[in-house]
RNA sequence: GCGCGGUUAGCUCAGUGGUAGAGCAUUACCUUGACACGGUAGGGGUCGGAGGUUCGAAACCUCCACCGCGCACCA
């Protein structure tokens, strides 16, 4: 490391070390290890996905946790993989097929289509994995899993069969959320309610038995009138109760004979007579609530729509074939023609949208598979009782609320890409099993399972379940899960249930079958205007571009620094720039050390330590404590900020600058000791930074020679396995003399430097001019301390004078605990400016004195306040008063 | 409707009872022998509002306002 570039160049460093780590097997987890286990399973990204900022946030955190655990001496398994993303992947392949061959999947058939999907997966599936590698993720790639792997698929089928046999999975004709674009059922969680502007239509219908009586019905969906099989009123509603049992004439379809359009008036408590007109049209085939009313009253179910959202012939010839929204307009026209439209007024209501396709879902009656959620009670209990911890813990309430109100999960999807339901039919026979039944005439259910029905098994299906493998024994339950709160229901809650249901069996001999001990919920990454990152907005930067531009470490650092615990992250490229600047600072600080020459110094001689040395060792000690604490509480931003402050504002700004005094001097022993301190500090610093900045720290670790003295498995081979820094214990502090006194001397020295620089600035002196300062120390001061002062003040000289020395009239000065500093510039400066400066200073001091005096003057204050606080205030008052005396003296001296 | 966050410097955010902080941006100056991806010094805040508790509140309590999110949902 003789010829170090002036600026850090990440591009030449990152790939080199990533290859090194992989070749050395540094990420590989050994289940036979005697070390305590630490494990994380990655939230599997979509196999066809691309890395976005959310992944960066999420995976950087997992990497930090993993790397920290390795340095803590744990056996680490970070298990990576991808999921097959049923709908998303199928849609992508369909699009490609359309574009390249102008064909639909139906034209090539299921089998051929699946071949295309696999080919697509082979081609694109590694993209996101390689992107994670670029980011520095230390996953055990030898264990990479995919939810469509044969072994994994086997787990999914097995789970289905078991739950079926337990009676928890059943098939039924139910109202489901139907996506007319994807043409599949969706679970409740995949439906997003959105306010929509539309109209509330009021139309009137004639009571068949009382031709003079008309009822007015309010609806937002007139196109569903042909599917109405009753109108309902509240039996307690005096306006209508007497009509129950009679019939109305449904206005649509127009062509239908009157007798076929007679539908009953029924009484149902569901009807709110405050709302609308108090008369509800009941469309059991197209509304969930109406379906339930229909069940209660044995109403006919008339499905008037096709799966793709167009109307069928039952809707009548004027609507048939039209899209549901066109049909609405036409239905309105028909009602107007009939003269039954009473009113249409603008109306906003909430409509369920398919999260994936972003179109309104259609409640639709169809044959689907459902799961009664298993192991709900233990899943609730483990979080409620705090055995599994959520960070931040407010998510526990959200989790509990959801689990308390869940409905059965619709797990079948009308897709081709996914795990096929292991059920076969022959006439009225149904067979559920891992293998196809023997005999002729069986056909397998054509549906596949919801992707989440496979990913809920992720924590154990990736580790060899259903066998009780070495990996499961060692690494299950996992230590941490890192994910976004947006999938708390989709994934987290379901994984917990699956854990209890399938890992709770006696053969696994687990005291608690929960899949993880901690769940850390990240924030959601937004742009700097607070908008969610999205492809359509184009506001999501490509992390790979950022890595190419600034380096992976910079991206990690910037992201972590701006990611407060449990809050959304407003991402700004400036943060990455800051990360790059920081890496450069770290680089150059090490470069400075190298330029001082010499081998790595390992022995610090306590009697040669200056106040600066002791001060920086204490600051390092503090930083180690803060960073360690922050990491155990998942406060990543706090950890980064503590490191930033320590390294930049303490080590570089003060210690490195102060160290230049001995380095430019002649005392070889002092220099060597200084190098030893620097090497100690840097070696600790690099280790503290390693989880955040894996690449640059590894480069510097070797470049600085810190690896040389260490055993291979403790930092000799890689910083990854170097031990995490420990704070000093009492004996060490005593040995190095790290006490309050040394700390205060250095702090006062730096404060005095600030005061001196301030004098120079206030007096508008040429910054380039070397000045002579005079110092009247309050106590004794070593020569080395004076040298540091001289250097930091950029002074020509610092002359020491005795206590009885008095300055010439008008000499600017400043003082603190260390002593009084003068700038003997009589005649050179503008006395008016100095006087103004001092007057301003005096006013500020007086204001502070008034504030403290007022507090102390309050009799209650002295009585009630703790002694420590009282002393603090008294001391503060004394300090300000001393300063006031000094300023007044200076002013007086000015004449 | 229920629940959860948030409101502190121009911006993004720390700060859970005792002298209001950081980074960015900004102003002035500096290319000095680690670093201009840098250094030095500065300006900038009645901590959303109103009450209350307290010797003392940015912090604790109550109410309100506004912003964001989740759940539920009446046709």
Q: How far apart are CA A876 and CA A860, in angstroms?
A: 19
User: Which nucleotide in the DNA or RNA is closest to residue A570, CA to C1'?
Assistant: B12
A844-CA/B46-C1' distance, Å: 18
When computed from its CA atoms, the radius of gyration of chain A, rounded to whole angstroms, is: 37
- Assigned token pair, A736: 């190095």
3-state secondary structure of A194: strand
Alpha helices (runs of H) in A763-818, residue ranges in sequence order: 783-792
User: Which nucleotide in the DNA or RNA is closest to residue A792, CA to C1'?
Assistant: B40
C-beta of residue A263 within 8 angstroms of C-beta of residue A229: yes
Which residue has the closest alpha carbon to B28 C1'? A761
How would you classify the pairing of strands A362-371 and A409-410? Answer: antiparallel
Nucleic acid strand B: bases within 7 A of protein CB:
3-6, 11-15, 18-19, 22-24, 29-31, 33-42, 54-56, 68, 70-75
Which residue has the closest alpha carbon to B22 C1'? A641
User: Which nucleotide in the DNA or RNA is closest to residue A753, CA to C1'?
Assistant: B40
Which residue has the closest alpha carbon to B31 C1'? A768
Q: How far apart are CA A873 and CA A419, in angstroms?
A: 71
User: Which nucleotide in the DNA or RNA is closest to residue A277, CA to C1'?
Assistant: B75
pLDDT of residue A535: 67
C-beta of residue A209 within 8 angstroms of C-beta of residue A221: no
Residues of chain A with CATH 1.10.287: 830-895
Alpha-carbon distances, residue A43 vs A53, A316, A338, A431, A543 (angstroms): 15, 49, 57, 34, 18
Q: How far apart are CA A255 and CA A859, in angstroms?
A: 94
A461-CA/B44-C1' distance, Å: 57
C-beta of residue A283 within 8 angstroms of C-beta of residue A227: yes
Local structure of residue A823 (DSSP, 8 states): -
A845-CA/B45-C1' distance, Å: 20
Query: Which secondary-structure segment (H or E) carries A631?
Result: helix A611-632
pLDDT of residue A17: 97
A869-CA/B57-C1' distance, Å: 16
Q: How far apart are CA A824 and CA A425, in angstroms?
A: 102
CA atoms within 13 A on the CB side of A884: 14
DSSP one-letter string for A208-276: TTEEEEEEEEEES-GGGGGG--EEEE-TT-TTTGGGTT-EEE---STTS-GGGGEEEEEE-TT--TTST
User: Which nucleotide in the DNA or RNA is closest to residue A350, CA to C1'?
Assistant: B73
Alpha-carbon distances, residue A370 vs A62, A335, A373 (angstroms): 34, 39, 9
Residues of chain A with CATH 1.10.730.10: 543-738
A219-CA/B53-C1' distance, Å: 54
A324-CA/B40-C1' distance, Å: 70
Which residue has the closest alpha carbon to B67 C1'? A530
Cβ-based neighbours of A649, under 8 Å, separated by 6 or more: none
Residue for token pair 């264990």: A143
User: Which nucleotide in the DNA or RNA is closest to residue A221, CA to C1'?
Assistant: B75
User: Which nucleotide in the DNA or RNA is closest to residue A279, CA to C1'?
Assistant: B75
C-beta of residue A580 within 8 angstroms of C-beta of residue A550: yes
Q: How far apart are CA A548 and CA A540, in angstroms?
A: 16
- Assigned token pair, A549: 């531009």
Alpha-carbon distances, residue A390 vs A411, A562, A797, A811 (angstroms): 27, 21, 60, 63
Which residue, among A534, A520, A300, has the nearest Cα to A395 in the 3D structure?
A: A520
Which residue has the closest alpha carbon to B29 C1'? A767
A558-CA/B69-C1' distance, Å: 25
Which residue, among A137, A136, A159, A12, has the nearest Cα to A81 in the 3D structure?
A: A137
Burial A387-425 (b: 16+ CB within 10 A, else e): ebbbbeeebbeebeeebeebebbbbbbbbbbbbbbbbbe
- Assigned token pair, A862: 């002295």
Which residue has the closest alpha carbon to B24 C1'? A574
Options 1.10.10.10, 3.40.50.880, 1.10.730.10, 3.40.50.10680; CATH for A543-738 is: 1.10.730.10
pLDDT of residue A869: 87
CATH number for the domain whose boundaries are A739-826? 3.30.2320
Q: How far apart are CA A279 and CA A241, in angstroms?
A: 11
For chain A, the farthest-separated pair of C-alpha atoms sits apart, in whole angstroms, at 120
Q: How far apart are CA A567 and CA A633, in angstroms?
A: 15
Architecture per CATH, A830-895:
Orthogonal Bundle (1.10)
φ and ψ of A522, to 5 deg: -75, 170
Alpha helices (runs of H) in A476-610, residue ranges in sequence order: 494-502, 543-550, 552-561, 573-595
Residues of chain A with CATH 3.30.2320: 739-826
Q: How far apart are CA A233 and CA A244, in angstroms?
A: 8
A536-CA/B68-C1' distance, Å: 21
3-state secondary structure of A772: strand
A485-CA/B33-C1' distance, Å: 53
Query: Can you name the residues that pair with A39 across neighbouring β-strands?
Result: A77
Query: Can you name the residues that pair with A659 across neighbouring β-strands?
Result: none
A161-CA/B2-C1' distance, Å: 38
Which residue has the closest alpha carbon to B5 C1'? A567
C-beta of residue A533 within 8 angstroms of C-beta of residue A559: no
User: Which nucleotide in the DNA or RNA is closest to residue A652, CA to C1'?
Assistant: B34
Which residue has the closest alpha carbon to B4 C1'? A394
Supply the ipTM of this predicted assembly.
Answer: 0.94
pLDDT of residue A830: 66
Query: Can you name the residues that pair with A16 across neighbouring β-strands?
Result: none
A263-CA/B50-C1' distance, Å: 59
Sign of the dihedral defined by the CA atoms of residues A206, A210, A214, A220, in that order: negative
A177-CA/B73-C1' distance, Å: 16
- Residues of chain A predicted below pLDDT 50: 1-2
Q: Where are the extended beta strands (E) located within A303-340?
A: none
Q: How far apart are CA A43 and CA A55, in angstroms?
A: 9
Which residue has the closest alpha carbon to B17 C1'? A865
C-beta of residue A319 within 8 angstroms of C-beta of residue A307: no
User: Which nucleotide in the DNA or RNA is closest to residue A287, CA to C1'?
Assistant: B75
Which residue, among A80, A74, A31, has the nearest Cα to A482 in the 3D structure?
A: A80
Alpha-carbon distances, residue A122 vs A100, A126, A127, A290, A514 (angstroms): 18, 7, 10, 46, 34
Q: How far apart are CA A551 and CA A547, in angstroms?
A: 4
User: Which nucleotide in the DNA or RNA is closest to residue A585, CA to C1'?
Assistant: B35
User: Which nucleotide in the DNA or RNA is closest to residue A218, CA to C1'?
Assistant: B75
Query: Which secondary-structure segment (H or E) carries A199?
Result: strand A191-207
CA atoms within 13 A on the CB side of A151: 13
Q: How far apart are CA A349 and CA A676, in angstroms?
A: 71
A563-CA/B10-C1' distance, Å: 21
Which residue has the closest alpha carbon to B2 C1'? A401
pLDDT of residue A1: 43
A762-CA/B24-C1' distance, Å: 26
Sign of the dihedral defined by the CA atoms of residues A445, A448, A453, A455, in that order: positive
CA atoms within 13 A on the CB side of A413: 24
Q: How far apart are CA A40 and CA A77, in angstroms?
A: 6
A415-CA/B35-C1' distance, Å: 58
Length of chain A: 895
Architecture per CATH, A191-357:
Alpha-Beta Complex (3.90)
């Amino acid at each position: 490391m003789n010829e170090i570039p002036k600026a850090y160049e990440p591009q030449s460093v990152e790939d080199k070390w990533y290859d090194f780590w992989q070749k050395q097997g540094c990420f590989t987890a050994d289940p036979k290890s005697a070390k305590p286990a630490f494990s994380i399973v990655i939230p599997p990204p979509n196999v066809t996905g691309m890395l976005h900022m959310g992944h960066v946030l999420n995976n950087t955190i997992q990497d930090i946790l993993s790397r920290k655990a390795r340095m803590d001496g744990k056996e680490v398994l970070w298990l990576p993989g991808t999921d097959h993303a049923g709908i998303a992947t199928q849609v992508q392949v369909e699009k490609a097929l359309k574009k390249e061959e102008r064909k639909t999947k139906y034209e090539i058939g299921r089998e051929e289509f699946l071949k295309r999907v696999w080919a697509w997966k082979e081609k694109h599936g590694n993209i996101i994995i390689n992107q994670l590698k670029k980011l520095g993720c230390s996953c055990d790639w030898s264990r990479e899993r995919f939810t469509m792997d044969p072994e994994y698929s086997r787990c999914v089928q097995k789970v289905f069969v078991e739950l079926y046999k337990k009676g928890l999975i059943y098939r039924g004709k139910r109202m489901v959320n139907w996506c007319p674009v994807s043409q599949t059922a969706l679970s409740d969680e995949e439906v997003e309610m959105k306010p929509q502007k539309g109209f509330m239509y009021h139309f009137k219908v004639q009571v068949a038995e009382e031709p003079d009586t008309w009822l007015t019905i309010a609806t937002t969906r007139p196109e569903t009138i042909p599917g109405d099989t009753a109108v309902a009123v509240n039996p307690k509603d005096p306006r209508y109760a007497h009509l129950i049992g009679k019939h109305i004439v449904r206005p649509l379809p127009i062509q239908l004979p009157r007798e076929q359009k007679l539908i009953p008036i029924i009484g149902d408590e569901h009807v709110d007579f405050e709302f609308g007109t108090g008369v509800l049209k009941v469309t059991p085939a197209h509304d969930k609530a109406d379906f339930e009313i229909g069940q209660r009253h044995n109403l006919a179910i008339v499905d008037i729509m096709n799966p793709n959202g167009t109307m069928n012939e039952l809707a009548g010839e004027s609507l048939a074939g039209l899209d549901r929204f066109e049909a609405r307009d036409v239905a309105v026209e028909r009602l107007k023609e009939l003269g039954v439209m009473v009113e249409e007024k603008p109306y906003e209501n909430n409509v369920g949208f398919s999260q994936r396709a972003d179109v309104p879902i259609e409640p639709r009656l169809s044959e689907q598979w459902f799961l009664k959620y298993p192991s709900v009670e233990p899943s609730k209990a483990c979080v409620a009782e705090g055995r599994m911890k959520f960070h931040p813990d407010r998510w526990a309430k959200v989790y509990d609320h959801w689990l308390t109100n869940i409905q059965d999960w619709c797990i079948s999807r009308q897709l081709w890409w996914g795990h096929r339901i292991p059920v076969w039919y022959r006439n009225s026979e149904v067979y559920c099993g891992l293998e196809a039944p023997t005999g002729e005439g069986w056909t397998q259910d054509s549906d596949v399972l919801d992707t989440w029905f496979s990913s809920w098994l992720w924590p154990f299906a990736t580790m060899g379940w259903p066998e009780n493998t070495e990996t499961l024994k060692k690494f299950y339950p996992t230590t941490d899960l890192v994910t976004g709160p947006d999938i708390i229901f989709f994934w987290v809650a379901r994984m917990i249930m699956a854990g209890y249901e399938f890992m709770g069996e006696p053969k696994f001999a687990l005291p608690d079958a929960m899949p993880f001990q901690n769940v850390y919920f990240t924030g959601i990454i937004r742009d700097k205007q607070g908008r969610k990152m999205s492809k359509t907005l184009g506001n999501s930067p490509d992390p790979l571009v950022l890595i190419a531009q600034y380096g992976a470490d910079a991206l990690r650092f910037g992201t972590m620094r701006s990611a407060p615990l449990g809050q959304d992250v407003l991402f700004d490229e400036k943060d990455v720039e800051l990360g790059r600047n920081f890496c450069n600072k770290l680089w150059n600080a090490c470069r400075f050390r190298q330029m001082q020459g010499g081998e790595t110094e390992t022995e610090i001689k306590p009697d040669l330590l200056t106040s600066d040395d002791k001060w920086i060792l204490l600051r390092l000690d503090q930083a180690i404590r803060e960073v360690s604490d922050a990491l155990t509480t998942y406060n990543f931003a706090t950890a980064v900020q503590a490191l930033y402050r320590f390294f930049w504002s303490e080590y570089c700004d003060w210690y490195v600058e102060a160290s230049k005094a001995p380095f430019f001097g002649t005392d070889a022993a002092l220099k060597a000791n200084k190098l030893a301190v620097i090497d100690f500090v840097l070696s600790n610093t690099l280790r503290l930074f390693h989880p955040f900045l894996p690449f640059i720290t590894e480069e510097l670790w070797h470049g600085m020679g810190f690896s040389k003295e260490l055993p291979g498995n403790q930092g000799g081979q890689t910083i990854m396995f170097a031990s995490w820094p420990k704070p000093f214990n009492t004996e060490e502090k005593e040995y190095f003399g790290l006490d309050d006194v040394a700390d205060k001397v250095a702090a006062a020295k730096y404060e005095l430097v600030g005061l001196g620089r301030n004098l120079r600035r206030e007096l508008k002196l040429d910054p380039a001019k070397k000045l002579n300062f005079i110092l009247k120390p309050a106590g004794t001061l070593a020569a080395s301390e004076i040298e540091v002062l001289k250097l930091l003040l950029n002074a020509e000289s610092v002359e020491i004078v005795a206590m009885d020395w008095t300055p010439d009239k008008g000499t600017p000065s400043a003082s603190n605990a260390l002593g009084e500093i003068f700038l003997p510039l009589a005649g050179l400066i503008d006395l008016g400016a100095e006087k103004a400066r001092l007057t301003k200073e005096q006013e500020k001091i007086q204001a502070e004195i008034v504030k403290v005096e007022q507090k102390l003057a309050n009799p209650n204050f002295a009585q009630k306040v703790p002694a420590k606080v009282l002393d603090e205030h008294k001391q503060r008052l004394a300090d300000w008063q001393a300063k006031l005396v000094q300023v007044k003296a200076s002013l007086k001296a000015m004449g």
